[in-house]
Amino acid sequence: MTTGEFRDFEFYCPTRFVFGRGAVDAVGASLTGAGFARVMLVYGQGSVVRTGTLDRVRALLADAGITPVAELAGVRPNPEVASVREGIALAREADVDLVLAVGGGSVIDAAKAVAFGVYYDGDVWDIFLKKAPITDALAVASVLTIPAAGSEASASCVISNDEQSRKLGVGSDVFRPRFAFMDPELTFTLPPYQTAAGVTDMIAHILERFFSGVGDVEVTDRVSAGIIRTLMDVAPKVMEDPTNYDARANIMWSGMLAHNDLCGCGRSLNPTARAGGWESHGLEHELSAHHPHIAHGAGLAVMMPAWMRYVWQEDPARFLAFAHLVFGMEPAGDDDASVAACVEGAIDALQDFFASLGMPRHLNEFDLTREDVDALLPTLAASKGEVFGIFKRLTMDDARAIYLSAFA
């Protein structure tokens, strides 16, 4: 592997992590110790209630002298802006000083949007449309129950708008969580499909940065490949034994490392911007915006390999680095056929891994048809632009071709 240009970068991750068995038990003392008293709870549609995690958090807060002054319940996967609007109204009425998410990435993203939406007098959706800036945010913390999105330490927030069939993201260090309480035992009851979708999302977060339009950055590339290889090693162990603590712990910590920008250090074309064009995420966001039943990670399991097959010839050397670092593959020779066989073999191996966890291979498996594709393109263009991407500039015709290639 040849050495490329190591780009300038800025790296900031202020989150305090409390990780390990019983980590959630520190939530009350940690928040009061930091001076927070008026806490708003944000949680999802039932699992944290059924497992007793929510009651446990409430009791821990009470023991520390904190009674939640507001609660936003029922946040769904692919969180919808209506629940964010509800949360903003509740937070304002209760004069909240910290928003505590108990759940996974969707719940944490909803909490983030509430936290910065409180400081905007208009409709919070304006911020996602880039019509208004993020100026400030309430403090955010999380008790992580679903490792996947890495939202517990990221500067990212993604929200859906069902009325507009849009799914948009914003980024700002202002709303990075202050605390992340990460107890792998809380993930023992996760369904296999949810676990697999989470692992897929983590790998996609890393690869969006790996294929950022910058050549080899050896230290970052090896960190990235090491996390992917770890996930590929431990995920099958969790599928076999959901209570394997070490495997669950490795997955939980990998999810955070995958999306706190560590894997983009030295790989961005702009020192203050996130590395990568996030093409696969853009393509997937349209799927789950138009069809909210599609789990984000499951959509990525289909769209990322489809994107990779479409663009790899733009920079074969970068894909050969991926094949070597992640799968130990080398081309049999320097000829085009050998390079193609190696690259395509590595992409196949990645998709085979996703499928081995129970992830779909094709868009047909979401009950979509080729006739559904054209409806995705207007909102994709509105979100990403008529031409988008960094690794390879993609037109809407390219996007249509990628979507169509993802059908069986």
Predicted structure pTM score:
0.94
Q: How far apart are CA 132 and CA 11, in angstroms?
A: 25
Q: How confident is the model at residue 4 (pLDDT cuts 50, 70, 90)?
A: low
- Domain chopping of the chain, boundaries: 23-182, 192-405
Alpha-helix runs per DSSP H in 7-52: 27-33, 47-50
Provide the terminal-to-terminal Cα distance of the chain, rounded to the nearest Å: 35
Measure CA 272 to chain center: 20
CATH topology of domain 192-405: Dehydroquinate synthase-like, alpha domain (1.20.1090)
d(CA 202, CA 193) in angstroms, rounded, equals 14
CATH architecture of 23-182: 3-Layer(aba) Sandwich (3.40)
* Mean pLDDT of all residues in 17-36: 97
How confident is the model over 283-302, as pLDDT tens digits?
A: 999 999 999 999 999 999 99
406, pLDDT greater than 70: yes
Please determine, for residue 2, whether its predicted confidence score (pLDDT) is greater than 50. no
Average pLDDT over residues 370-380: 97
DSSP H helices, 36-104, are 47-50, 53-63, 81-94
- Over residues 378-393, the mean pLDDT reads 96
Q: Which residue has the higher pLDDT, 324 or 67?
A: 324
DSSP assignment letter at 178: S
* 41 within 8 A of 100, measured Cβ to Cβ: yes
How do residues 179-216 score in pLDDT, each as one tens digit? 999 999 999 999 999 999 999 999 999 999 999 999 89
Using the predicted structure, report yes or no on whether residue 388 has a pLDDT greater than 60: yes
Please give the pLDDT value at position 3. Answer: 45
For 28-81, the pLDDT digits (tens) are 999 999 999 999 999 998 889 999 999 999 999 999 999 899 999 999 999 999
Q: Between residues 144 and 9, which one has the greater pLDDT?
A: 144
Mean predicted confidence (pLDDT) in 358-367: 98
Please provide the average confidence, as pLDDT, over all residues in the chain.
Answer: 96
Q: What percentage of the chain exceeds 90 in pLDDT? A: 94
Q: What is the pLDDT of residue 1?
A: 36
- Strand pairing partners for 181? 18, 143
